[in-house]
Structure 1
């Protein structure tokens, strides 16, 4: 079925998407964290986002999702920690009347670390700080009816934090900087 002149989102519309995302960290570390080859495993989770269309081409997207990641080292697993990274992007949507509507976006995220279960042996590893960072995205909405569309999205998000352990002091800075790959379905209001 070919749809023509379908406005997936136009001025004043709210787009709601439900996606399944894979959060795939691109890890780097310094100090002790680097020396013990610290890594952060990926996680696949549901995600919800809302885009308010400021014009037919410009939208503001708020991304809501949380993931839990295992942190590993050459010494073994340190345990798991959860992250909540709400991200706000300003998007430019190309071809507002097309069936295939690509977009690009840039924005900011704030990542909160919680449910920290990280340990070195019996010593707890504390996450010292939450994180502010930049975000970039590229994606596309593909109309399947007047009010429904498929969505494909890739984001790069800057996330970093510091870790320390009692008796060991600061372990270093951990840059998680994930690629986030998403596929889902959306509707407009």
Structure 2
């Protein structure tokens, strides 16, 4: 009887320990990053004539917040968020106005599970960007309000402990818009920025 009781106690303790270990590995990971946006600055000739790439968009560094959910140790989904970001627009180097854009991005990720603190990953997904508060050429020019495109990602997490990690992340995002002057299409801009970020992550 004592042996049976001892075996039952050991089995219960083992199950509790296993449950606690699983509880520590929750599927949620959040990160905060500082991200530098470097636009590709490609554009069609203005008015269909002359040189290309005359329209450019300013680069800047922004805060970024993202939430990841791990379906398995390897497979995860990441939602990337920020608040509307203001950019300057230039024509032949001269400022012609500003606009704001909000670019939430959803990515499917593959994480390489290594027996080391360094955890690399790759990702691919979609970006939706909405343009707002467009003020170009004193209101004479405008942009499309919406842009849909692809996004590619590569990054590395460095585990500090079981919950905290440091992160380096690189993304290439497809963001494009037609430019209108007086209601007629005057050009098309490929912003297509390269985003390089560093940050910190927390695993719940």
Name segments (4+ residues, structure 1) moved above 6 Å. Answer: none
Q: Distance in 2 between matches of 1:161 and 1:183?
A: 28
1:147 aligned to which of 155, 159, 163: 163
Q: TM-score, normalised by structure 1?
A: 0.87
- Among candidates 120, 130, 144, match of residue 146 of structure 2: 130
RMSD between aligned alpha carbons?
Answer: 2.0
Give the secondary-structure state (helix, strand or coil) at the position aligned to 1:117. Answer: strand
Deviation at 1:12, TM superposition (A): 4.8
Match of 1:32 among 46, 52, 71: 46
Give the number of the structure with larger relative contact order, counting CA–CA contacts within 8 Å between residues 6 or more apart: 1
Contact 1:123 1:166 in 2 (8 A): no
Task: Indicate whether 1:88 and 2:106 are aligned.
Answer: yes
Of 82-91 and 92-101, more deviation after overlay is shown by 92-101
Structure with more helix by fraction: 2
Of 42, 46, 53, which residue of structure 1 is paired with 2:70? Answer: 53
Q: Helix, strand or coil: the match of 2:135?
A: coil
Distance 1:96 1:75, change over 3 A: closer
**Aligned length, in residue pairs:** 178
Larger Rg: 2
Which residue is equivalent to 1:22?
A: 36
Query: Structure 2 matches for 1:154-165, cutoff 5 A?
Result: 154-165=170-181
TM-score normalised to structure 2 length: 0.81
Question: Equivalent residue for 1:104?
Answer: 122
- Report the 3-state secondary structure (helix = DSSP H, G, I; strand = E; otherwise coil) of the residue aligned with 1:153: strand
- Which residue does the alignment assign to 2:91? 73
Q: Assess if the C-alpha contact under 8 Å between 2:44 and 2:53 holds in 1.
A: no
1:153–1:36: structure 2 CA closer, same or farther, 3 Å change rule?
Answer: closer
- Give me the whole-angstrom Cα distance separating, in 2, the residues matched to 1:32 and 1:107: 31
Residues 166 and 106 of structure 1, relative CA distance in 2, 3 Å threshold? same
